[in-house]
Amino acid sequence: MSVPKTWRGEKYRYRLEAVKCTGCGKTYMPARAVCPECGSRDFEDIKLPAEGKIVTYSMVHVGPAQMQFEVPYAVAIIELENGLRLTTQIVDTQNKELKIGQKVRMVFRKIQEDGKTGVIGYGYKAMLAE
């Protein structure tokens, strides 16, 4: 992970900052230059809601090398209250049954590290709300 690359992602990964198309109202995270729905190039900055629900999920038992220490971990597609969807892990799922439609809240967590001395990547994960 390069330092500038990590830095470029801070806005959305750390703070859930996104953009809303002024043409059709659809939201995007990370920000885009063109709206694929209506073609508009005009966006306003918004902050995403932290509440959402599980659209679909999987418990991962074989991870990439840099995440193998966490297996099994839950990965899900989350739909936030404003309709935006994202992919992330669900934390603290031990002995809990996951279900489609379950409510979650986004939290700030360490995502991965680049060896013992490299950049630590942070970002959002989801936590079961009930």
For Zn ion, the binding residues (CB under 5 A) are 21, 23-24, 35, 37-38, 40
Given other proteins, Zn ion, none, residue 30, with its beta carbon under 5 to 8 Å by kind, binds other proteins
Given other proteins, Zn ion, none, residue 38, with its beta carbon under 5 to 8 Å by kind, binds Zn ion
Minimum CB separation of residue 18 from other proteins in Å reads 12
Percent helix, strand, coil in the chain (nearest 5)? 15, 45, 40
Sign of CA dihedral 83, 105, 124, 97: negative
Across 14-102, the runs of DSSP E, i.e. the strands, are 17-21, 27-28, 43-47, 51-60, 73-80, 85-91
Would you say 44 or 130 has its CB closer to Zn ion?
Answer: 44
Which residues are near other proteins by CB under 8 A? 9, 30, 36, 55-65, 67, 70, 72-73, 75-77, 85-89, 100, 111-112, 121, 123, 125
How crowded is residue 124: how many other Cβ atoms within 10 Å of its Cβ? 21
